[in-house]
Amino acid sequence: MRRAVRALSGPGPWTRGPVLTVSALVLGLLLLLHAEITDRGGLGSLVETFLPWFGLLVPLLLAGALWLRSATAVVALLLPASVWLGLFGGLLLDRSEPGGDLTVVSHNVNADNPDPSGTARALAASGADLLALEEMTSPATAAYGKELAASYPYHATRGTVGLWSKLPLSDVRPVDVLRGDVGPLAKTRRAEDLPVDPPRALRATVATERGPLAVYVAHLGSVRLMPRGGFWTDSRDAGAVALARAVASERNQRVVVLGDLNGTMDDRAFAGLTSRLRSAQEAAGSGFGFSWPESFPVARIDQILVRGVEPKSAWVLPATGSDHLPVAARVGW
């Protein structure tokens, strides 16, 4: 009898779990208004890089709400659940379709790759018509060229990036997306004293049976978690703006951008690109297509973006000797 009296006199299901209720509402507002989060210290970019993972908090909060029998918390969780599904629910479906004219692959091969020849053979086995490599060192570039020569009679390299093709290439030129990826040093030293990196992006015209295709290969600047400066993205962001400007001025209506952009397409830094290009993974992939790090991928920072061609399918290739996974897509006219 005493237990029954205590149960009846205690908090009801609509008053239990106020902390869980508030947490659910805050999570929902974060997902809904993530673009309004300040980017001071790179906070906005950091949140948007891992935005899909915030969905894991929904079942955790739901378990707590059911444990406490809090009806208010359960109802509050409808907000983050519905917003997350609106943002990412479509990515859970298989959006691929048969067909396509070209297979393209992009891979950050890692400057410390212990087996560049093996990596090249694995990539050639994918059957890609266009193969973009990023973060190549000078010695490794020769190894990639040697292994890929038989399958790809046409190639172009600029600095640390390269494009191997089964189709003729022309009008190859570097694209300036990075100068002196030196991070916070840029705040304390004169610009003329800063080192200039080798080119990390190129543009080429690929001659296809259906007409010319403009292809960009890019490796944007690194992002770093600084002990005092937060999430540092200045170099990456400047490169994203430069790449978007190059694409905006591109006269060819058919464009493919391949590369390690060091960021996800949810990141506000890529608004200039996403307003002009489609992500092949988001349009025709299955799942999120996370590509980094290779051992336990948590983000897709390796991208295939298109304009004027139709993504038919997109997928992630098996691991090579790199710390990134290769990404691939099939596109059609």
pLDDT tens track for 276-297: 999 999 999 999 999 999 999 9
- Cis ω before 199 (30° cut-off from 0): no
Question: How would residue 228 be classed by pLDDT, with cut points 50, 70 and 90?
Answer: low
Instruction: Please tell me the predicted confidence (pLDDT) of residue 186.
Output: 42
Angstrom distances, CA of residue 131 to CA of 123, 252, 279, 318, 321: 8, 20, 17, 15, 16
- What value does the mean pLDDT take over residues 116-136? 97
Which of 3.60.15.10, 3.60.10.10, 3.40.640.10, 3.90.1580.10 is the CATH number of 102-332?
Answer: 3.60.10.10
Instruction: Please tell me the predicted confidence (pLDDT) of residue 141.
Output: 96
Instruction: Please tell me the predicted confidence (pLDDT) of residue 195.
Output: 41
Instruction: Please tell me the predicted confidence (pLDDT) of residue 3.
Output: 67
Instruction: Please tell me the predicted confidence (pLDDT) of residue 14.
Output: 84
Angstrom distances, CA of residue 96 to CA of 99, 114, 158, 245, 329: 10, 34, 33, 30, 10
Angle at 84 between CA 295 and CA 77, to 5 degrees: 115
CA dihedral for 86, 91, 94, 98, sign (positive or negative): positive
Question: How would residue 231 be classed by pLDDT, with cut points 50, 70 and 90?
Answer: confident
> In angstroms, rounded to a whole number, what is the distance separating the alpha carbons of residues 101 and 312?
9
Angle at 104 between CA 109 and CA 124, to 5 degrees: 55
Q: Which helix (H) or strand (E) element contains residue 31? A: helix 18-32
Please state which of the ranges 89-98, 131-140, 217-226, 229-238 shows the lowest mean pLDDT.
229-238
Three-state DSSP class for residue 154: strand
> In angstroms, rounded to a whole number, what is the distance separating the alpha carbons of residues 292 and 325?
6
Three-state DSSP class for residue 85: helix
Instruction: Look at residue 194 and tell me whether its pLDDT is greater than 50.
Output: no
Q: What is the pLDDT of residues 5-43, one digit of tens each?
A: 455 445 778 888 899 999 999 999 999 999 999 998 889
**And the tokens for 109?**
């091969």
Displacement of CA 142 from its chain's centroid (Å):
28
Residue scoring higher pLDDT (40 or 80): 80
